């Protein structure tokens, strides 16, 4: 197989987009104007002539044969170069249906016009009485010889006023279950008997219409598949429509626009700080969204089942877009909002006014294509019937994850058992007596253990401590501690003397020199039974302190994990590393700990959500299981969506780190995300357990506390947000 040079591919797409996308079309995108049919068709023709007409179709149907990463690069570069995304109704919605369910004759007839941009399609699904409950649609199609005769009305039909064709779900039977009497027809919009009427919308843009059908004759040859099977085809089409969220490039484009806007319309210092922090929050959610998009495109291209991916992508991407527009309108402020009627661009800030339209337009995101509420019904349906496992894949699936999950689930695992499984050796190179495994294996262990509800700080004891030691220069003490920490002959604790350490230090001081005196108190150091040494890790020194003679008081974290408060009555430390060597050891260890604490959080969210689902199924109120109440089902769906986005952000950060990139920015965003989201999931679980959520006996309580604690480990959300805001990551 030939290796793809993605950098060269990206350069090729960029150069093509910059030189071939007509300047007037790029200007429309820059000005956030509605892309007209003419512009969109011209752009599609340019792409088609270059062989890039249909990146999402198989090669044999005129597709490009790109892999998921190339498709992602293509979409991203188009957005970055201010070229429009491709028009969706033909390529992304109907195209896949023609490929899967259309006849050869239909493919030959309809696909070329979609490919080269000549034919323009719109979607005739919704009706005045049938929105979310689409299957109740009533526009009827009666067979008359070789034709159907269609009578009824569609509503909210985007682009109908500029389209040539409508793909419409119509009712061909009322005999059976309502889903069974639906048929999918392809109807030319210039057919006699069709009237299109504009609907005025709050964004002042003409895009939706009513479409009236009065005895419109449609040849039977224009029917997709079999009569009465339209619901199956229509749903398949909708799943592709919802996958639209997998193209995250427009969201990033929107983000850039809002960021620029907020820089110009900041207001007071407090307002600016608030806007900056909210942008960082949104950006961190976009990190996960990007990873979710990649995963979905990859799965779709491999022909795998997409499960809840389309619903997850749709809800998360649409909510992010709305949050961005919300920020934009706040930045624009009342001055411009009150001048919305202004048409003379010299008299008002035209860009600010356009944002008001964009804001209104984006309110429709969570309504169209199956509203947020409908998606949450679907998600809850899966979680309550099919469980969480099929829709919560491990970050790094495989035998390592499975073994850790089993170990965690079996319970009763202590430090001796962890040593027996060799987990502290994982990241230590083989020539230092370790297993020489990669970051992904450690992630698999930590996530598996967390899902199995194992209660140990593996991030600190199995990753940070061994990594600090293995990256310090060799020496007698170093060798003894590293080997001892792996075989149990030494038990080494670690205190990170950094902002991430989160330690309570009182009168703590370290002398300079080769054998410095340590004095004062350090509280909240993660503990292990029989600890023999403490590593003190800072950016310029790595020290080891023998613990005999140090005053040790037992304590615990928020979730009851053992910690110790250490009182150094004049203990002497030994230097393991100084200067750049110490900084290097810290830089190798601390980011891994930060990542793993995010992994621990997303791993713990899974049993918390699963246990909450089980509780709602078992507990009855008002003569029925709580699981029957939609408000509670939606809260579970929200918890799942929170988990989904968080775990994707953590996965992205892991990949950036594993690929050897210095990934401090994605790491900070992933940790910010997992910290905030851990809290959200814990709060949901406490609330949905009612009074039981407040009790110590409930197994979920310990996990809830662990989620809350994970938000503090290796720096809390605010610490990472501040780093991101400082702009040097």
Ligand X SMILES: Cc1cc2nc3c(=O)[nH]c(=O)nc-3n(C[C@H](O)[C@H](O)[C@H](O)COP(=O)(O)OP(=O)(O)OC[C@H]3O[C@@H](n4cnc5c(N)ncnc54)[C@H](O)[C@@H]3O)c2cc1C
Q: Cite the active site residues.
A: 241
Residue among 172 and 647 whose Cβ is closer to ligand X: 172
Binding test (CB under 6 A) with ligand X, winner from 157, 251, 612, 675: 157
**What's the CA gap between 533 and 495, in Å, rounded?**
11
Of residues 374 and 518, the one with the C-beta less far from ligand X: 374
Residues 354 and 204 sit within 8 Å (Cβ to Cβ): no
C-beta separation of 503 from 524 below 8 A:
yes
Q: Which residues pair with 202 in a beta bridge?
A: none
List the one residue from 15, 36, 132, 662 that touches ligand X (CB under 6 A): 132
How far lies 352's CA from each of 25, 40, 330, 356, 363, in Å? 21, 25, 11, 7, 17
Q: 130 pairs with which residues across the strands?
A: 127
Exposure on the CB side of residue 668, measured as CA atoms within 13 A: 19
Q: At closest approach, how far in Å is the CB of 719 from ligand X?
A: 38
**Rounded Cα–Cα distance for residues 703 and 688 (Å):** 14
Q: Closest distance between ligand X and the C-beta of residue 327, in Å?
A: 21
Task: Return the range that interacts with ligand X (CB under 6 A); candidates 126-134, 294-302, 391-399, 708-716.
Answer: 126-134
Question: Where is 506: in which H helix or E strand?
Answer: strand 504-510
Token pair, residue 563, equals: 């910690």
Please report, as residue ranges, which positions from 194 to 253 form the binding site for ligand X (by CB under 6 A): 208
- Residues in contact with ligand X, counted by CB under 6 A, come to a total of 19
Rule CB under 6 A: say whether 139 interacts with ligand X.
no
Q: How far is the CB of 316 from ligand X (least distance, A)?
A: 16
- Shortest distance, CB of residue 318 to ligand X, whole angstroms? 12
Residues of this chain, 374-433, that bind ligand X according to CB under 6 A: 374, 377
Helix (H) or strand (E) holding 78: helix 68-80
Contact pick of 16, 72, 120, 125 for ligand X (by CB under 6 A): 125
Under the binding rule (CB under 6 A), the answer on residue 126 touching ligand X is yes
Cβ-based nearer residue to ligand X, 102 or 369:
369
Contact region with ligand X (CB under 6 A), list: 364-372, 405-413, 512-520, 560-568: 364-372
Contact 547, 533 (CB under 8 A): yes
Q: Which of 181, 186, 222 is nearest to 93 (CA)?
A: 186
Contact region for ligand X (CB under 6 A) — 14-22, 118-126, 270-278, 516-524?
A: 118-126
| Cα 602 to Cα 707: distance, rounded to the nearest angstrom | 9
What distance, in Å, lies between the first and last C-alpha atoms of the chain? Answer: 37
Q: Which of 40, 121, 156, 568 binds ligand X (CB under 6 A)?
A: 156
CB nearer to ligand X: pick between 315 and 439: 315
Closer CB to ligand X, 241 or 656, in the complex? 241
Residue closest to ligand X (Cβ): 131
Q: Shortest Cβ distance from residue 178 to ligand X (Å)?
A: 15
Nearer to ligand X, 16 or 125 (CB): 125
Q: Kindly state whether residue 188 participates in binding ligand X, applying the rule CB under 6 A.
A: no
* Among 158, 505, 538, 587, contact with ligand X (rule: CB under 6 A): 158
User: At its nearest, how many Å lie between ligand X and the CB of residue 679?
Assistant: 26
Is 97 or 404 the residue whose CB approaches ligand X more closely? Answer: 97
Q: Is 322 left (phi over 0), alpha (psi -120 to 50) or beta?
A: alpha
What is the maximum span of the chain, computed from C-alpha positions, in angstroms? Answer: 100
Shortest Cβ distance from residue 179 to ligand X (Å)?
Answer: 15
Among 277, 299, 350, 367, binds ligand X (CB under 6 A): 367
| 506 contact partners, CB below 8 Å, separation of at least 6 | 520, 521, 523
Structure tokens at 483: 């080997």
Indicate the residue among 155 and 626 with the shorter CB distance to ligand X: 155
Alpha carbon of residue 59 to chain centroid: 29
Which one-letter DSSP state was computed for residue 39?
H
Q: How far is CA 51 from CA 57, 80, 452, 676, in A?
A: 12, 21, 49, 45
| Three-state DSSP class for residue 613 | helix
Smallest gap from Cβ 626 to ligand X, in A, equals 17
Helices (H), 265-308: 269-301
Judged by beta carbon, residue 392 or residue 637, the one nearer ligand X is 637
CA separation for the pair 188, 236 (Å, rounded): 22
Among 112, 113, 131, 546, binds ligand X (CB under 6 A): 131
368 binds ligand X (CB under 6 A): yes
Interface with ligand X (CB under 6 A), residue from 153, 364, 557, 701: 364
Residues lying near ligand X in the complex (CB under 6 A) are found at 122-126, 131-132, 156-158, 208, 364, 367-369, 371, 373-374, 377
């Amino acid at each position: 197989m030939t290796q793809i040079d993605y950098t060269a591919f990206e350069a090729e797409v960029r150069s093509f987009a910059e030189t071939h996308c007509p300047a007037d079309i790029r200007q429309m995108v820059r000005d956030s104007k509605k892309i007209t049919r003419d512009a969109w068709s011209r752009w599609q023709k340019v792409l088609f002539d270059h062989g890039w007409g249909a990146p999402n179709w198989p090669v044999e149907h005129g597709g490009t044969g790109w892999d998921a990463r190339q498709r992602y690069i293509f979409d991203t570069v188009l957005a970055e170069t201010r070229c429009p995304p491709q028009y969706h109704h033909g390529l992304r919605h109907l195209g896949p249906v023609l490929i899967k369910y259309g006849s050869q004759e239909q493919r030959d007839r309809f696909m070329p016009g979609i490919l080269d941009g000549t034919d323009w399609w719109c979607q005739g699904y919704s009706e005045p009485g049938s929105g979310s409950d689409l299957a109740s649609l009533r526009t009827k199609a009666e067979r008359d010889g070789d034709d159907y005769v269609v009578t009824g009305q569609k509503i909210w039909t985007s682009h109908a006023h500029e389209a040539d064709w409508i793909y419409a779900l119509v009712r061909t039977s009322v005999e059976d279950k309502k889903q069974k009497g639906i048929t999918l027809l392809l109807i030319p919009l210039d057919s006699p008997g069709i009237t299109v009427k504009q609907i005025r919308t709050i964004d002042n843009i003409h895009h939706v219409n009513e479409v009236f059908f009065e005895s419109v004759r449609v040849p039977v040859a224009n029917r997709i598949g079999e009569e009465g099977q339209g619901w199956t085809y229509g749903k398949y089409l909708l799943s592709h429509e919802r996958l639209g969220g997998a193209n995250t490039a427009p969201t990033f484009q929107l983000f850039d626009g809002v960021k620029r806007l907020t820089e110009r319309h900041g207001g007071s210092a407090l307002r600016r700080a608030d806007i900056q922090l909210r942008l960082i929050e949104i950006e961190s959610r976009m990190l996960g969204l990007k990873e979710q998009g990649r995963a979905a495109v990859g799965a779709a291209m491999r022909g795998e089942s997409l499960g809840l991916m389309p619903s997850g992508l749709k809800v998360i991407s649409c909510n992010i877009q709305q949050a961005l527009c919300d920020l934009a309108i706040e930045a624009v402020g009342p001055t411009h909002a009150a001048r919305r009627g202004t048409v003379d661009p010299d008299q008002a800030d035209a860009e600010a006014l356009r944002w008001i339209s964009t804001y209104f337009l984006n309110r429709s995101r969570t309504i169209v294509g199956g509203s947020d509420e409908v998606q949450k019904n679907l998600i809850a349906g899966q979680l309550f019937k099919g469980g969480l496992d099929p829709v919560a894949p491990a970050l790094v699936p495989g035998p390592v994850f499975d073994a850790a999950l089993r170990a965690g689930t079996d319970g009763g695992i202590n430090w001796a058992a962890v040593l027996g499984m060799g987990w502290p050796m994982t990241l230590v190179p083989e020539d230092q007596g370790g297993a020489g495994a990669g970051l992904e294996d450690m992630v698999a262990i930590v996530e598996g253990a967390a899902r199995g509800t194992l209660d140990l700080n593996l991030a600190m004891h199995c990753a940070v401590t061994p990594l600090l030691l293995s990256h310090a220069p060799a020496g007698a003490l170093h060798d003894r501690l590293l080997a001892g920490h792996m075989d149990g002959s030494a038990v080494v604790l670690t205190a990170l003397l950094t902002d991430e350490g989160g330690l309570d230090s009182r009168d703590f001081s370290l002398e300079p020199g080769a054998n410095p005196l340590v004095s004062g108190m350090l509280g909240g150091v993660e503990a292990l039974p029989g600890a023999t040494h403490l590593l003190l890790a800072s950016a310029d020194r790595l020290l080891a302190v023998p613990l005999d003679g140090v005053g040790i008081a037992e304590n615990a974290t928020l979730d009851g994990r053992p910690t110790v408060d250490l009182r150094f009555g004049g203990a002497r430390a030994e230097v393991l590393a100084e200067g750049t060597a110490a900084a290097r050891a810290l830089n190798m260890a601390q980011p891994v700990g930060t990542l793993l604490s995010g992994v621990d959080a997303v791993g713990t969210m899974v049993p918390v959500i699963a246990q909450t689902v089980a509780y709602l199924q078992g507990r009855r109120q008002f003569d029925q299981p709580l699981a029957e109440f939609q408000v509670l089902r939606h809260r579970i769906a929200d918890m799942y969506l929170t988990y989904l986005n968080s775990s994707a952000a953590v996965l992205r950060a892991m990949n950036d780190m594993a690929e050897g990139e210095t990934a401090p920015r994605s790491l900070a965003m992933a940790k910010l995300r997992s910290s905030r989201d851990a809290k959200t999931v814990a709060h949901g679980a406490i609330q949905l357990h009612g009074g039981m959520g407040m009790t110590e006996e409930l197994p979920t309580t310990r996990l809830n506390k662990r989620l809350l604690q994970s938000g503090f480990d290796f720096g809390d959300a605010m610490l990472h947000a501040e780093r991101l805001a400082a702009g040097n990551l």
